[in-house]
Structure 1
Amino acid sequence: MPRTHRRRLLAATLLAASVMAPFATAPATAVPAAVGAGPHHGDDCPPGGLGHELTAKLDRTVEDVRKQAAVPGLVVGLWLPGRGCYVRTSGVADKATGQPMFADTYVRIGSETKTFTVTALLELVDEGRVRLDDPIDTYIRGVPNGKKITLRHLAEMRSGLFPYTSDPEFIHDLYSEPERQLEPWEALSYGYRHKNIAEPGKTFQYCNSNLVLLGLVIEKVTGRPLRDVIHERVVRPGGLRHTFLPEGAEFPEPHAHGYSNQTLTGAVADTTDWNPSWAWAAGGMISNLRDLRHWAPVLATGELLSPETQKQRLKLLPTGFPGTSYGLGILKTNGWIGHNGSLPGYETVTVYLPEQKATMVLILNTDSLVAGGQEPSTLVARAITRVITPDHVYAGGITPR
């Protein structure tokens, strides 16, 4: 049933990304929510789909970790072949009205966008239109050390480029004017002011500049806008119906409000209408639970790619984060394959465990860090996987801060 959500102006002063205090949220009780699925993945998930005992344990875990991580609203989706499924919502979608969180919310998926951008690139690799070991200078001029940095280096986060999101002026500009439309070249220019941090291939450094450049490569090779390429080559063939790269701040209904303390004062802001154009190919996309559930196995098994290209994608390298390695726009964390995402006000996790053919999708309407600087989505994912897959506890995702 469609919902209409009132939007409100930002009530808090916009703040600096360095202030990361957690905030309190209104309590809510976890409730069942049946979520539809495409024919490729089976039937809806009924209440109690994992049996009474395990369902009750998960209910307690979900509510406890949501409160611990100070998450206003949370959606959890688990699909475990041979065991059952579990879909729950907890908390609120709107702190002002107390509206309960709902399972069919659209959400800004942040860095999960990288999985779509790199999939589109790898399809061009399969067609022989680009090569992973081509230097970026072949396609895009003006990149620092662009004759040595390859498309592979960019996709695996080993280009050595300085991340534009780490530039102090970018941070100030973003949080001072969060509804501003930012073009890809404008975003990249913030990073180009700095020397590269390393030689290509030497160091893992999570860097949105890499994916913005790959988005520009895709546009140059295809002659099409990136949003159209992702839709035609990835979203539609992947069987997704509610996933897209917006042009600006548009956000379809229904959607939960997003909350962040990544502001200049540390006050919590409603970020629902902030413009994600600055993240573009690296983090600008929107999706929902149904589509993310479907996307997880498509991505992890390489359904849209040749076996050889998927093998290249899954050449995982250390990241410096214990238990987590990174390939070409994809990560592996203690057996789970996929990606996490974080954007002001929203976090997501979409991962697949090939060993059990299990899928986990998490949607949070906050990105405010908790004690120790941990992502709230990481705390939630760890707590849940300790219950459902104790031999494969989620170690952690990777997002820039």
Structure 2
Amino acid sequence: MTDTAVALDAYRKTLPYIRDWVAYKVWQLRVPGVQVAIGFQGEELFSEAWGYADVEAGRRLTTNDLFRIASHSKTFTSTALLLLAERGSLRLDDTVGTYVPALVDGGSPIADATIRELMEMGAGVIRDGHDGDYWSLKRPFPDESELLALVLDRGQKVPAGSSFNYSNLGYSLLGLVIAAVTGRTYNEFVREAIVEPLGLRNTGPDWDPSREDDFVIGYSGFHVARTRQRIAHVDTRAMAAATGFHGTASDLVRYFSAHVLGQGDLLSDHSKRLAQRKSWSATEEDPAARGYGAGFIVDRIDGREVRGHSGGFPGHITQSLFDPASSLVVSVMTSSAAGPATLLATGILHLLDAAADSAAPGATVAEDAVAARYTGRYANPWGVTDVARVGDRLLAIDPSGPDPLESPTRLEPVDADTLRMTHGNRFGSVDEDITFTRDAEGAVTGIRGSGGMSEEPWSIPEETPEVAAGLA
């Protein structure tokens, strides 16, 4: 098999455990709702939903329900600008003031910054203005006149080109640029140029009242309260280019697959490289740290170069990662403040990388039936152990930690009811056995493993929606 075929086979073998691991994290962290989608080579491999779209109504979340994907919007704005540059409608080195004359009239130095500098977050624009309480929903998001007022009020904090400064206002200005160049509203242009050509049926540039019943309700976090509170949806108005978009994990897999080099025809590879190359590091002290391209976050996870974006909106936290070389895409939507979208996306990527690594020469589980004889979730008062298939290996994993592969133990079958712990942290019980006991039908009734302690099969308990989601 080709390397791609080997990786695909390993990924498919791991998807059942990814489903189980995410389900556990949703329960453990009491997240109201989570969507996950995974793509590879332009194909959607996985799309699942857990929890509730509306907890109080008891409405189960589906893979088609709409999340506010917030700063994912910046990737759409960047894509729109690159499309316009490819068509010759603008140049990325044009000044912003060319298209937003109010900046010139107001004497703002931002007028002389280039479109490229705003795309790369290098124009020195203040992040959200000196009054950003619209993020707390204490007032509406700015309209165009209010946006310009926020920018003209000491809106450039450092000179253009001097440092990286993430700015929602800067990207909102780029929305005005797109409207000026195209003669259409930002929302109209991105629908026509990106959303519709890619067939993104559940994606749009802002709150859509006509689909209100399809939107996921967002909830507050646990940082100042023991229970979550419902948060209303709002229109982001002139800030749609920075934070307005809605979408689903499945649509975002399709969208980011079109940004993989050599894949799709939305943008040329040249434009993709312009967007995805690292322009700035997020911290000056560590040039190798995660950084920013032109609308895309640039990062490295497990040695793998990834691109994508996160999104934070009142009641919604989202994260998408993709590998522009291999085409692997992971997208996670969560419906609560401080939702674990990045934790889940990173954990899934770790599992998929471990799956691909397991296909290298070494110990393997030869047949699905062999793995199925042992896999499951077991618990005792000390914790939880997942015996899981990850690619061609069996691993003992603690699902309660933030990273499923922080300290796994590799397992090898000895006989039909025994696994040996062959590799792992030697503060544990490496080189000892896990033994299985079964009933007359062959179902596992218990295991005895690490430290010689027994564990019993365990599954997520049934709970009311309010308890499961942290509302009670």
| Superposition TM-score tier, normalisation by shorter sequence | 0.7 to 0.9
Partner residue in 1 for 2:187: 227
Paired letter, 1:269: Q
Structure 1 CA distance, aligned partners of 2:294 and 2:225?
Answer: 36
Equivalent residue in structure 2 for 1:125, among 85, 94, 100: 85
1:315 CA displacement = 2.7
More off after superposition, 208-217 vs 340-349: 340-349
Separation of aligned partners in 2, 1:251 and 1:277:
17
Partner of 1:379: 343
Report the alpha carbon displacement of residue 339 of structure 1 after superposing the two structures with TM.
1.8
Residues 239-292 of structure 1 deviation map (CA, whole Å, 9 limit, x = unaligned): 323322237755443232111249999984322433333631111112223322
Normalized per residue, the structure richer in strand is: 2
- Distance between the aligned counterparts of 1:150 and 1:311, measured in 2? 19
Aligned equivalent of 1:325 = 291
Contact 1:175 1:263 in 2 (8 A): no
> Which amino acid is the alignment partner of residue 346 of structure 1?
H
Q: Is 1:362 aligned to residue 325 of structure 2? A: no
Alpha-carbon distance change, 195 to 330 in structure 1, aligned in 2, over 3 angstroms: closer
Conserved? CA contact 2:203–2:245, under 8 Å: yes
Letter of the 1:325 counterpart = G
The gaps in structure 2 that reach 5 residues or longer are 1-9, 358-401, 404-472
- CA 188–251 in structure 1, closer or farther in 2 if over 3 Å, else same: farther
- Residue in structure 2 matching 1:215, options 151, 175, 194: 175
Of 260, 272, 278, which aligns to 1:316? 278
Shift of the 191–240 alpha-carbon distance from structure 1 to 2, 3 Å rule, reads same
Amino acid at match of 1:277: R
- 1 CA distance for matches of 2:351 and 2:135? 42
Matched positions, count:
335
Matched, 1:136 2:102: no
Per-residue deviation, residues 143-164 of structure 1 (Å, max 9, x unmatched): 3313431101100111101122
8 Å Cα contact 1:69/1:379 also seen in 2: no
Are the aligned partners of 1:258 and 1:271 in contact in 2 as well (CA < 8 Å)? yes
Instruction: Name structure 1 gaps, 5 residues minimum.
Output: 1-47, 370-374, 395-401
Runs of 4+ in 1 over 6 A off after TM superposition: 262-267, 391-394
- State whether structure 2 residue 126 is matched by structure 1 residue 162: yes
Q: What TM-score does the superposition give when structure 1 sets the normalisation length? A: 0.74
Tell me the distance in 1 between the aligned counterparts of 2:40 and 2:182: 38
What is the aligned-residue identity percentage? 26
1:77 deviates by: 1.2
> Who is 2:115 aligned against?
151
Aligned to 1:38: none
Q: In the alignment, is the contact (CA less than 8 A) between 2:207 and 2:235 conserved in 1?
A: no
CA RMSD of aligned residues (A): 3.3
Alpha carbons 1:248, 1:277 under 8 Å: kept:
no
CA distance in 2, matches of 1:359, 1:172: 32
Question: Greater CA radius of gyration, 1 or 2?
Answer: 2
Q: Secondary structure at the match of 2:180?
A: helix
d(CA) in 2 for partners of 1:303 and 1:142? 36
The 1-side partners of 2:158 and 2:28 are apart by 38
**Which amino acid in the other structure matches residue 320 of structure 2?**
T
Kindly state the Cα deviation for residue 132 of structure 1 after the two structures are TM-superposed.
1.0
Amino acid at match of 2:298: K
Residue in structure 2 matched with residue 171 of structure 1 by the alignment: 133
Aligned partner of 1:34 in structure 2 is: none
| Superposition map of 1:2-401 within 5 A | 50-51=12-13, 54-67=14-27, 69-80=29-40, 85-143=45-103, 144-164=108-128, 167=130, 169-171=131-133, 174-177=136-139, 180=140, 182-194=142-154, 196-246=156-206, 251-261=211-221, 268-277=228-237, 279-301=239-261, 303-320=265-282, 323-334=289-300, 335-366=305-336, 368-369=337-338, 376-390=340-354
Aligned partners of 2:276 and 2:307 also within 8 Å: no
Offset, 1:309: 2.7
Give the Cα–Cα distance (whole angstroms) in 2 for the partners of residues 357 and 98 of structure 1.
37
